[in-house]
Amino acid sequence: MNVELKNRKENFGRITVKVGSNVLTNDDGSLNTWRISRIVEDLAILYRNGIEVILVTSGAVAAGRSEITPSRKTSVVESRQILAAVGQVKLMSHYQYLFGKYGIPAGQVLATRESFMDRRHYLNMRNCIMAMLDNKIIPIVNENDTISVNELMFTDNDELSCLITSMMDCSSLIILTNVDGIYTGIPGDDGTELIREVRPDAEGIEQYIFSFRSEFGRGGMLTKYSNARRLASEGVRVFIANGLRDSIITDIVRGKDVPYTHFLPAGKRRNSVKKWIAHSATFARGVVVVNRGAKEALMGPKASSLLLVGVTRIEGSFKKGDIVRIIDEEGNSIGLGKSEYDSDKAIQNIGQKCSKPLVHYHYLVLNENAGVEPVVF
Ligand code: GLU
């Protein structure tokens, strides 16, 4: 056991490491097995030192490309599905073989957006990953690309890694990409510097982010950045670092002076129900418009539930237990909550005094914390 790393266990405890396609693939799109083996080696060191690791990996579609070529009559969506169907098995067998060399069992968890939208699915997934960790199995998570198509897809695996980090109460998320972090300009240009630290109240960082995407993955720096900010505001440390550098993961955990962008965590940590709701902004199925009185009550110093008497309009179709966005009459976002009613039932009772609130305050996350963009109609 490495004493230096053992001491860091207190700080890191359980972490998520996300590896993007641009780290795992060669220029021709095939899997870079040597790079994967270096990453596994790094993770094995953490594992042996008692740090729990959850790996979120891309690369299924890329791995499929070197195995099959979809016929011309296969649609774009189907091509991605079948490349992932073939490639995910290949990707996982690589990981299983490589972790196996260190005597570490690894297992696969495939997630879809639905897995996070439904609280029961969410808890099942959480329990499974928890049981894997308890049994010293490294969970390897990817999107289930065979059934996640179009609007059912995550924005990218950066979003998925944030959801997993939050769901599993990890102390930190390390996002590995093919650059050292966020720069103030084009890397290599005169005067361009790596942004080493992003404080929870930092402003104006977006201006430095260029909107190019990686060739083989879906993500870009902007989604990494916005997901990292949201997670850091929940009290999680986030690092964006270069997965093409050897030992980058252990170097970060050891606290070595290596290049990365570090998003410092805000002090507060939320309970898990509120975290689930806060991360569900993109899953919201309905919009609830509230009057001024209700808005003031919700935003006031006392914890208040949202009552139907304060609701003036309801949009969208949702079921009891779904997440709804709450906005004021000017269209400004107030927050998110879990609805206690189906939308039909709620619409019937708009403006009425019902004993059961539409959103109980235990299941309400106000905008200040929720990281929700203003709603535009
Ligand atoms: N899930 C996709 C894959 O494994 C990658 C998604 C992404 O690049 O973010 O191929």
For residue 362, the CA-to-ligand 1 centroid distance in Å is 34
Token output for 22? 């641009």
**107 forms bridges with which residues in the sheet?**
139
230, 161 Cβ separation under 8 angstroms: no
Query: What pLDDT score does 187 carry?
Result: 77
Q: What angle do CA 88, 90, 96 make, to 5 degrees?
A: 100
For the CA of 160, the closest atom of ligand 1 is 9
Query: What pLDDT score does 219 carry?
Result: 56
For residue 25, the CA-to-ligand 1 centroid distance in Å is 12
Q: Is the pLDDT of residue 113 over 90?
A: no
Q: What is the DSSP string of 9-27?
A: HHHHSEEEEEE-HHHHB-T
Across the chain, what does the average pLDDT equal?
88
Place of tokens 């509120």: 274
Residue type at position 14: R
pLDDT, one tens digit per residue, over 177-218 is: 999 999 888 777 888 899 999 999 888 888 878 655 444 555
Mean pLDDT of 229-252: 94
Token output for 113? 């957006």
| Residue 154 banded pLDDT, cuts 50, 70, 90 | confident
| Residue 376 banded pLDDT, cuts 50, 70, 90 | very low
For residue 245, the CA-to-ligand 1 centroid distance in Å is 21
Mean pLDDT of 340-350: 93
d(CA 229, CA 336) in angstroms, rounded, equals: 18
Of the candidates 241, 205, 65, 219, the residue with the CA atom closest to the CA atom of residue 143: 219
| Residue 319 banded pLDDT, cuts 50, 70, 90 | confident
Residues with CB under 6 A from ligand 1: 21, 58-62, 84, 142-143, 145, 156-157, 217-219
254, 189 Cβ separation under 8 angstroms: no
| Residue 91 banded pLDDT, cuts 50, 70, 90 | very high
CA-to-CA separations, 80 to 59, 68, 95, 220, 346, in angstroms, rounded: 12, 11, 21, 19, 40
173, 162 Cβ separation under 8 angstroms: yes
**Whether this model's pTM surpasses 0.75:** yes
Interior/surface letters 216-234, b for 16+ CB within 10 angstroms, e for the rest: bbbbbbebbbbbbbbbbbb
Query: What pLDDT score does 6 carry?
Result: 67
Query: What pLDDT score does 49 carry?
Result: 93
Query: What pLDDT score does 377 carry?
Result: 25
Residues whose CB falls within 8 Å of the CB of residue 364, separated by 6 or more in sequence, listed in order = 277, 298, 305, 306, 326, 335, 336, 337
For the CA of 64, the closest atom of ligand 1 is 10
- Who has greater pLDDT, 329 or 375? 329
Phi, psi dihedral angles at 52 (to 5 degrees): -80, 130
For residue 77, the CA-to-ligand 1 centroid distance in Å is 14
d(CA 31, CA 64) in angstroms, rounded, equals: 9
Token output for 263? 């998003």
Q: Is the pLDDT of residue 123 over 70?
A: yes
Domains of the chain: 3-269 (3.40.1160.10), 277-370 (2.30.130.10)
Of the candidates 285, 353, 370, 274, the residue with the CA atom closest to the CA atom of residue 319: 285
Mean pLDDT of 26-42: 92
Among 24, 145, 221, residue to substitute to test ligand 1 (most atoms within 8 Å of Cβ): 145
CA–chain centroid gap for 83, Å, is: 23
Side-chain-side CA neighbours of residue 237 (13 Å): 17
d(CA 29, CA 21) in angstroms, rounded, equals: 9
Mean pLDDT of 147-171: 87
For residue 5, the CA-to-ligand 1 centroid distance in Å is 31
For residue 298, the CA-to-ligand 1 centroid distance in Å is 39
d(CA 94, CA 342) in angstroms, rounded, equals: 45
Q: Is the pLDDT of residue 103 over 80?
A: yes
d(CA 208, CA 185) in angstroms, rounded, equals: 6
d(CA 313, CA 331) in angstroms, rounded, equals: 11
For residue 60, the CA-to-ligand 1 centroid distance in Å is 7
| Residue 276 banded pLDDT, cuts 50, 70, 90 | confident
pLDDT, one tens digit per residue, over 38-67 is: 999 999 999 999 999 999 999 999 999 989
Q: Which of 68-72, 154-158, 336-340 has the highest mean pLDDT?
A: 68-72
Q: Is the pLDDT of residue 370 over 50?
A: no
Q: Is the pLDDT of residue 354 over 70?
A: yes
d(CA 116, CA 254) in angstroms, rounded, equals: 32
Q: What is the DSSP string of 139-203?
A: EEEEE-TTT--GGGS-S-HHHHHHHHHHHTT-SEEEEEESSSS-BSSSTTSTT--B--EE-TT--
Among 58, 115, 164, residue to substitute to test ligand 1 (most atoms within 8 Å of Cβ): 58
For the CA of 158, the closest atom of ligand 1 is 9
Number of H helices, E strands in the chain: 14, 13
Of the candidates 146, 28, 29, the residue with the CA atom closest to the CA atom of residue 79: 146
Query: What pLDDT score does 151 carry?
Result: 67
Lowest mean pLDDT among 3-17, 103-117, 237-251, 324-338: 3-17
Query: What pLDDT score does 74 carry?
Result: 95
For ligand 1, atom 5, which residue shows the shortest CA distance?
58
How much of the chain, in percent, has pLDDT values that exceed 70? 91
Q: What angle do CA 165, 128, 44 make, to 5 degrees?
A: 60
- Who has greater pLDDT, 213 or 280? 280
Query: What pLDDT score does 302 carry?
Result: 80
How much of the chain, in percent, has pLDDT values that exceed 90? 60
